[in-house]
């Protein structure tokens, strides 16, 4: 496993739309482990593949309950609202109030290629939606009401 360089705001890759993952192979599994290690080292709760320079639909999250891996995630449903401070490993030192849905229902593949569905609220919902935004080239600062 290795620490990856986290791309910072201004890097063009952070604004690109990611491609679907078509195969879960040894290289992808190594990337997933590297992303987890990088996220923990940076004290983050989530990290998306474009943040380490890889344009694949993949992110990892750990809000303190163990790591979750999302490959080719799809948001199925959202509901409610919550407002809270958000930051991002690609914008170190920056935080802003962001309004997001309080509930999300999503589906994805895990690192074993198994499809799962997750329903989340509050912090986990926020983290899923924040990381999923990265896969579409959207940063949390794009969601700040000015």
Return the ∠ at Cα 107 (arms to 26 and 126), rounded to 5°.
100
134 is in an annotated binding site: yes
Q: Are strands 46-48 and 103-109 parallel, antiparallel or unpaired?
A: unpaired
116 SS3 class:
strand
Q: Give the integer Cα–Cα distance in Å for 21 and 132.
A: 14
130 is in an annotated binding site: yes
Q: Examine the residue annotation and report whether 20 is marked as an active-site residue of this protein.
A: no
Whether the Cβ atoms of residue 105 and residue 118 lie closer than 8 Å to each other = yes
In the set 94, 117, 122, 131, the catalytic residue is 131
88 is in an annotated binding site: yes
What is the torsion angle, in degrees rounded to the nearest 10, for the CA atoms of residue 93, residue 98, residue 102 and residue 104? -80
Known binding residues are 88, 130, 134
Catalytic residues: 131
Output the known binding site for Fe cation: 88, 130, 134
């Amino acid at each position: 496993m290795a620490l990856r360089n986290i791309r910072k705001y201004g890097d063009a890759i952070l604004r690109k739309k990611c491609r679907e993952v078509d195969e879960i192979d040894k290289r992808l599994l190594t990337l997933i482990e590297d992303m987890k290690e990088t996220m923990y080292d940076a004290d983050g709760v989530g990290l998306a593949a474009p943040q380490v320079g890889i344009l694949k639909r993949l992110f990892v999250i750990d809000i303190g309950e163990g790591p979750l891996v999302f490959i080719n995630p799809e948001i199925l449903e959202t509901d409610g609202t919550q407002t809270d401070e958000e930051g991002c490993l690609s914008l170190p030192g920056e935080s802003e109030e962001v309004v997001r849905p309080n509930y999300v229902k999503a589906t994805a593949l895990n690192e074993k290629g198994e499809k799962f569905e997750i329903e989340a609220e509050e912090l986990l919902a926020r983290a899923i939606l924040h990381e999923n935004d990265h896969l579409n080239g959207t940063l949390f600062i794009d969601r700040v009401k000015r």
